């Protein structure tokens, strides 16, 4: 529960509200008005809040904290108005079964209050002067940014200009597991300005040997929320947000849109293909990794460069590949995911800084058992409906895309053809004919009989195939973006 009050805070009464038979620990924080700040004497404070927004954000923060630390009950009260020296400005109480959860929850609330709540304070000084201070500025150490990044910025390939690029970057990390934890930690340490974590899972005891952002205190907590809180403590100067939910076909385009680079740290082929296609469609670079036992592989998929994930797994659907085997729940050597996660962070930083040689069109294989590393070319299929059109359309006017897309019903007499991967059990919408995605001859045959409208589950294969056929001179082929 979160409350704003203009009257003095009564700690004894608040403690009673948290009293319960199942409570083994009561952790209390009292933030009091002191007689100095940043070397200046202070006589009193005035707190002013944007009440409605502060109530909403405070309630959301309490709910988030109770989710992060299952079994806790949180009560937070913040004063507004004029306060004298020694008055309590903020009171936080956490009832929990054990002290560790109480300490952690209490710390999370006070640090996030200063960062997130729209509350300002006016400091009054003995000489009669007064100044407004945004409380959130105390949560960040503004004077040490140069020192924090000094060793990194000293690299000629980085420098102040490169550090500024990192501060402006918007990076998405999908999967906060064995790969995502080290990757996100190094990205936060490097000074990525806007970092978003996506994961719908909870921290489990079996995760802790390899998922280095978490401790036993976070068992049962949402991974995305717990990971974001840990990264904010590691680098308070950056913006870290969490999406507590799984990647889906519905949310992938919005999550990917506007990102500087995306890291695929997932553990299954279904999510891997979904993220790959969303990045390809949005023109966002993707750094992907996977680990099994002692071995791992790293791939960098650059927009406009052939040799995509569909080329790599030609003719195989994500569902079929996941039935054969995925990384989820399998045996894994913890340093293997650590090494691959760090390499993902390295590739992402190279993309953002524009330095070094990127692993485009190559798969890097790492084996920690025998200490070997091998880079192999990713073959680009000339008939790939996703990336083959890139090479064939290099000389085509980009404006030609304007007439490529159409909606069902806007092309009288058009044949609606729904493309599926071999082995994919998805059913086409009513009125659409099902066709294998790699059957170009059949699509050409349809085009001889009149206009063809191509569609697919995510919209990317149909657009790619339509571009490919138009480049060959088949002008009456159109694509519908998505379903």
The catalytic residue positions are 327
List the structure tokens of 377.
Answer: 């070319």
Chain CA centroid to CA 390, Å: 28
Q: What's the CA gap between 95 and 98, in Å, rounded?
A: 9
Question: What sign results for the dihedral spanned by CA atoms 298, 302, 304, 305?
Answer: negative
List the structure tokens of 155.
Answer: 């690299």
DSSP result, 355-394: -S---BTEEEEEETTTTEEEEEE-PPPTT-TTTHHHHHTT
Best CA proximity match to 179, nearest among 65, 383, 345, 20: 345
Question: Could you write out the three-class secondary structure of 197-213?
Answer: EECCCECCHHHCCCCCC
Asked if residues 18 and 93 have their Cβ atoms less than 8 Å apart, the reply is yes
Question: Could you write out the three-class secondary structure of 279-341?
Answer: HHHHCCCEEEEEEEECEEEEEEECCCCCCCHHHHCCCCCHHHHHHHCCCCCCCECHHHHHHHH
Asked if residues 191 and 166 have their Cβ atoms less than 8 Å apart, the reply is yes
């Amino acid at each position: 529960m979160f409350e704003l009050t203009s009257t003095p805070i009564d700690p004894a009464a608040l403690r009673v509200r948290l009293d319960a038979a199942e409570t083994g620990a009561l952790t209390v924080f009292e933030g009091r008005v002191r007689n100095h700040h940043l070397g200046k004497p202070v006589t009193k404070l005035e707190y002013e809040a944007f009440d409605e927004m502060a109530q909403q954000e405070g309630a959301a923060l309490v709910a988030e904290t109770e989710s992060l630390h299952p079994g806790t009950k949180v009560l937070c009260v913040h004063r507004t108005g004029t306060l004298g020296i020694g008055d309590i400005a903020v009171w936080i109480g956490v009832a929990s079964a054990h002290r560790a959860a109480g300490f952690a929850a209490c710390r999370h609330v006070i640090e996030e209050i200063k960062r997130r709540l729209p509350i300002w304070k006016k400091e009054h000084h003995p000489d009669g002067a007064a100044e407004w201070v945004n409380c959130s500025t105390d949560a960040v150490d503004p004077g040490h940014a140069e020192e924090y990044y000094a060793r990194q910025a000293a690299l000629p390939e980085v420098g102040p200009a490169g550090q500024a690029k990192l501060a402006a970057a918007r990076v998405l990390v999908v999967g906060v597991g064995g790969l995502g934890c080290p990757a996100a930690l190094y990205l936060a340490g490097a000074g990525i300005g806007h970092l978003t974590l996506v994961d719908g899972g909870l921290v489990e005891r079996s995760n802790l040997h390899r998922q280095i952002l978490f401790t036993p205190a976070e068992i049962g907590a949402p991974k995305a929320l717990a990971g974001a809180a840990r990264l904010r403590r590691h680098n308070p100067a950056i913006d870290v947000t969490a999406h507590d939910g799984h990647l889906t076909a519905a949310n992938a385009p919005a999550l990917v849109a506007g990102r500087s680079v995306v890291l695929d740290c997932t553990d299954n082929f279904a999510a891997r293909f979904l993220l790959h296609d969303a990045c390809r469609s949005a023109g966002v670079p993707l750094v992907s990794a996977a680990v099994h036992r002692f071995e791992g592989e790293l791939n960098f998929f650059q927009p406009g460069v052939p040799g995509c994930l569909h080329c790599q797994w030609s003719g195989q659907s994500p569902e079929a590949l996941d039935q054969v085997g995925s990384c989820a729940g399998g045996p894994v050597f913890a340093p293997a995911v650590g090494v691959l996660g760090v390499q993902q962070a390295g590739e992402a930083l190279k993309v953002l800084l524009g330095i070094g040689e990127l692993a485009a069109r190559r798969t890097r294989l790492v084996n920690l058992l025998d200490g070997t590393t091998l880079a192999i070319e990713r073959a680009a299929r000339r008939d790939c409906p996703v990336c083959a059109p890139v090479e064939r359309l290099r000389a085509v006017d980009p404006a030609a895309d304007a007439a490529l897309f159409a909606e069902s019903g806007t092309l009288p007499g058009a044949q609606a053809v729904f493309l599926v991967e071999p082995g994919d059990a998805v059913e086409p919408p009513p009125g659409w004919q099902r066709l294998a995605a790699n059957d170009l001859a059949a699509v050409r045959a349809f085009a001889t009989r009149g206009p063809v409208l191509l569609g697919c589950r995510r919209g990317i294969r149909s657009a790619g195939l339509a571009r490919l056929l138009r480049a060959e001179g088949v002008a009456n082929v159109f694509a519908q973006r998505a379903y």
